[in-house]
Structures are given as structure tokens and as C-alpha cells.
Amino acid sequence: MNKSYELVVVANRLPVDEVVDDKGKRSWARSPGGLVSALQPIVRRQGGAWVGWTGQPGEAPEPFDTDGMHLHPVGLSEDDVDRYYEGQSNATIWPLFHDAVEQPTHRRPWRQAYEAVNRRFAEAAAALAAPDATVWVHDYQLMLVPAMLRELRPDLKIGFFLHIPFPPVELFMQLPRRAELLRGLLGADLVGFQRPLAAQNFLQLTARLLALEPDEDRVEVDGRTVIARAFPISIDVAEVQDLANDPEVQAEARRLRTELGGGDRRLLLGVDRLDYTKGIEQRLEAYGELLAEGVVSNDDVVLVQVATPSRMRVLEYQQLRARVEREVGRINGEFGAVGQVPVHYLFQSMGRADLVALYLAADVMVVTPLRDGMNLVAKEYVAARHDDRGTLVLSEFAGAAAELETAFQVNPHDVEDLKRGLVDALEADEAEQAKRMQPMRMQVHDNDIDKWARDFLDALAGDPEHGETPGAR
């Protein structure tokens, strides 16, 4: 008989991606994105199972155990990748849930594929879960799974967590087959969001679309109670701190600073998936204007922008890449000198140690998404800065802004405000840096990923008081 699991995580991606090199040789690498960073430590510690896609089209490899986890790959054909992942998930739902900062596209075959793939994930989870087990479904790619799973396995405790923003009622109403999506989510016992406003939007929709009667943080549906509440996600603080305390990482940070311009040039840092929600273009525009106006110069500042490759088969992402690279070229061409440029642009993934070395080297961390569910990079930066130095420029439109209140907060839609934030952050003296950094470090330290998972899982287990998140209402 196949082994069954008390905790099953269901997410679009496995924590590792299958990588195929030029010679067709296959290997595994850490998957991109905040969801994996957040969940991997929890599943590892609980010896749970993880149902997800390998990141490559084709037949699913056999399930396997690694790093204390049981990984159960779900296969996606080329067509599934086109329609379910790149289409419905990333060209319809993703832009719409991020305030439609890019125009969402609606296609019937994408919706059909989304439903079929969601069913496959639900069936895989149903087959792996022990009697009365907990199944935790994640993110916008799998919003139909909770209801499908409940039909297959009514004995299970089903939780759902949305890592991205949940849109205002009027925007959600634009989605074709919107009621079905909502019913999909209502299959869960507990629906978690990053922000309280998102939970409110969701509950309002149940009244508007399904004529249900939400009351405070809950709603009755088919004789069950579904709770909707905010659980702001966090990071593995200890992992980041261990790296930040590692002498080799610290030496690498010093090397980076020397290489980028001695102690004299101040280092601005951006680390994002190359995604139009991250506001990279607006950031470059603001930086370019500051250089053009002579407020900063190539001799006293340098920007390192790490842009992780993401969703590169989706047209909007290809276009974004072209625009970003053109702008980097323009800025370097116009304001650079031989051997010294104002922007270092890295279109690549990185190891955790290299990333933390960059965090330690940076004077100003620039996290300016147009809209973001949380943004873990901001929290990682704060966790790394045990020296209480460095400043954080943070978008008001990132979920993290509610918790990291002493960051230099900016409206990234307003270039002047972005420029103001960058200049203020560059000008902050040591005392001001420490005054702002300390409360943020305390916040992140007291609310790490373990607490997030415990709060969610306790609330799901029926201990709502314990699951209460301070400041989450």
C-alpha cells in the first residue's frame, strides 16, 4: 500500500525545478519565488508531502523523497503549460489580481485547462492524504482545488492560502466564471490572505455573487463554516541570519563593495523576479532622472539590479525584459564611464549565500513593486542587517509595508515620490538608519515563517483564538 501523509502541501510548483541542460541531462534546482522560500522549511520539518509541477512540460517523474519531504510531481503537457500556467494563471488571474497593472487576457480554452489541471492536483492530493489529514493548498493557480478535494475527501481539513493580493470586488467581477472560482475557494475550511482587506474583499464577494451572509471573519456555506482571515507570510529568519553571520558571506559582501567602487560609492540594490508588478521600470526611470538632474552621480552611487528570469514564454514578460534591458543600456551609455557604470544588471538566479552577501553590501535596498502580496525580499534584507545599518525604500503597495512601517515608504506610481524616497534613504545618517532598522528587525524576528505556519495550521485545526495574528484585523 502507498504511504499516506498527515500534512500534504499542494502548490503549482514543487520546491525544486527540473532543469534540462543542452545535452538533455536532467537535474534539480531550487524553484523561484517566495512561496517556495516560505513553505519548504515547514514541510521539511513536518515530514510532509508536496504535490506540484516540476517546471518542465511532459510526463511526471516518479514521486521521490528528498530533504525530509515526499515530492509528488504532477505532469503538465505543453498544452497545459500554455493554457493553464502561462494563460489562465499568468495572463488572466495574475494581472487581474495585481490591480490590472497589465491588461488581463480572457480565453475559454485557458479556463478549461485550468479546471482540468486543478482536478489533477486535487486527485493527487486526495490519494496521498491520510484519513482526516490536513491538506494545505496554495495560491492563485489552484483556486478550484479546495472544492474538488472536498468532494473527493470530505474527511480532510482543507486550508487555502493566497500568496498574492485578492482584488477589490469590482475587479474580481470582470472574471468570466467568477462564481465558480469563488465556490472553489469556499471548499476550504480556512482561506488565508496576506492582508485583512483581501479577506474582506473575499467575504463581500460571497454576499454579492452567491447571496451568502458573511459575519465578521466567517461565512456559512452548505452547512459548513468557512473562515477568511489575514496571515501575513514571513521568512525563515534563522536561515538568513546564519548566512549573514557566516564569515565567508561577510567577506563576499566586503569584496562586492570594493569591486563596485571602494567605500565611496553607495550601493543601491534591487532583487526581484523580472515581473511587471515589481516596478523595475519605474525604479530605473527614477534613478535615471536623479542621474540626469545631477542629484546623484556615477561617482557616488551604483545600482545593482538582480532580475530573476520568470515566465519568459509569456509575451508581457518578454516585452518587459526588452524594455528593462534597453533602459539599463541607455542609463549606462549616458551616465557611465570606462570601467564604471551606474547600473549592474544581472538576469540570473543566485544561491542564497550570494543573495545575502548582496543584502549585507547594500546601503539602500529598493523594493518598489506596483503591487505585491507581501514581498519577502524586503523581510530578508531586514533579517540580514544585524549591524542595524542600511536603509529600505519600500512601496506602500507591498503587503510588507503594513509591518515594516519605519521603511522609507514610497508610492512607486509617482516618479517624484520614488526619487524623494531614494534621496532620503541615501541621506540617512547612521543614527537614523539604526532608528529605522531596529523596529523592523524586531517585527521580522517576532513573526517568522514558523509562527505564520503555526498560526495558520492552528486556526485550521479549530483553534481560532490561537491562530489570531496580531494586527491582522
Min dist. Cβ of residue 154 to ligand F6P (A): 27
Q: Residue 373 or 390: which CB sits closer to ligand F6P?
A: 373
Q: Which of 111, 163, 278, 283 binds ligand F6P (CB under 6 A)?
A: 163
Min dist. Cβ of residue 425 to ligand ADP (A): 19
Q: What is the largest CA-CA distance in the chain?
A: 71
Q: Which of 42, 271, 274, 459 binds ligand ADP (CB under 6 A)?
A: 271
Choose, from 72, 98, 163, 189, the residue flagged as catalytic: 163
Site string for ligand ADP, 36-55 (x = CB under 6 A): -x------------------
Site string for ligand ADP, 360-399 (x = CB under 6 A): --------------xxxx--x-------------------
Stretch that binds ligand F6P, among 34-42, 332-340, 441-449, 454-462 (CB under 6 A): 34-42
Select the binding partner of residue 350 from ligand F6P, ligand ADP, none (C-beta < 5 to 8 A, by kind): ligand ADP
Min dist. Cβ of residue 252 to ligand F6P (A): 26
Min dist. Cβ of residue 273 to ligand F6P (A): 6
Compute the distance between CA of residue 373 and CA of residue 393 in angstroms, rounded to an integer. Answer: 17
Dihedral in degrees, nearest 10, Cα atoms 273, 276, 279, 284: 90
Contact 441, 385 (CB under 8 A): yes
Q: Residue 33 or 342: which CB sits closer to ligand ADP?
A: 33
Q: Which residues in 170-229 contact ligand F6P (CB under 6 A)? A: none
Q: Which residues in 288-347 contact ligand ADP (CB under 6 A)? A: 306, 308
Q: Which of 8, 14, 35, 449 binds ligand F6P (CB under 6 A)?
A: 35
Q: Residue 54 or 433: which CB sits closer to ligand F6P?
A: 54
Q: According to DSSP H, which parts of 337-401 are helical? A: 352-361, 376-384
Select the binding partner of residue 139 from ligand F6P, ligand ADP, none (C-beta < 5 to 8 A, by kind): ligand F6P
13 binding ligand F6P? (CB under 6 A)? yes
10 Å CB burial of residue 326 (0-12, 13-18, 19+) is exposed
Instruction: Produce one character per residue of 84-121: b if its CB has 16 or more CB atoms within 10 Å, e if not.
Output: bbbbbbbbbbbbbbbbebbebeeeeebbebbbebbebb
Q: Residue 310 or 368: which CB sits closer to ligand F6P?
A: 310
Contact 134, 159 (CB under 8 A): yes
Contact 237, 383 (CB under 8 A): yes
Select the binding partner of residue 13 from ligand F6P, ligand ADP, none (C-beta < 5 to 8 A, by kind): ligand F6P
Which residues lie closer than 8 Å to 309 by C-beta, 6 or more apart?
Answer: 32, 274, 347, 348, 349
Q: Which residues in 133-192 contact ligand ADP (CB under 6 A)? A: none
Compute the distance between CA of residue 289 and CA of residue 207 in angstroms, rounded to an integer. Answer: 47
Compute the distance between CA of residue 417 and CA of residue 423 in angstroms, rounded to an integer. Answer: 10
Q: Quick one: angle between helices 315-335 and 280-292, nearest 10?
A: 10
Q: Residue 12 or 200: which CB sits closer to ligand F6P?
A: 12
Stretch that binds ligand ADP, among 6-14, 31-39, 152-160, 204-212 (CB under 6 A): 31-39
DSSP letters spanning 23-44:
T--EEEEEPPSHHHHHHHHHHH
Query: Which residue is closest to ligand ADP by CB?
Result: 34
273 binding ligand ADP? (CB under 6 A)? yes
Q: Residue 210: enclosing H or E segment and its boundaries?
A: helix 196-210
Residue carrying the nine cell digits 511587471: 276
Compute the distance between CA of residue 189 and CA of residue 429 in angstroms, rounded to an integer. Answer: 49
Choose, from 272, 372, 448, 455, the residue flagged as catalytic: 372
Is 163 one of the annotated active-site residues of the chain? Answer: yes
Smallest CA-to-CA distance from 38 within 126, 202, 161 is with 161
C-alpha cell at 213: 451572509
Contact 404, 437 (CB under 8 A): no
- The residue type of 255 is R
Sign of the alpha-carbon dihedral angle for 436, 439, 441, 443: negative
310 binding ligand F6P? (CB under 6 A)? yes
Stretch that binds ligand F6P, among 33-41, 247-255, 257-265, 386-394 (CB under 6 A): 33-41
111 binding ligand F6P? (CB under 6 A)? no
Residues at the contact surface with ligand F6P, assessed by CB under 6 A? 12-13, 32-36, 139, 163-164, 310-311, 373
Residues at the contact surface with ligand ADP, assessed by CB under 6 A? 32-34, 37, 271, 273, 306, 308, 349-350, 355, 374-377, 380
Q: Report, as residue numbers or ranges, the catalytic residues.
A: 163, 372
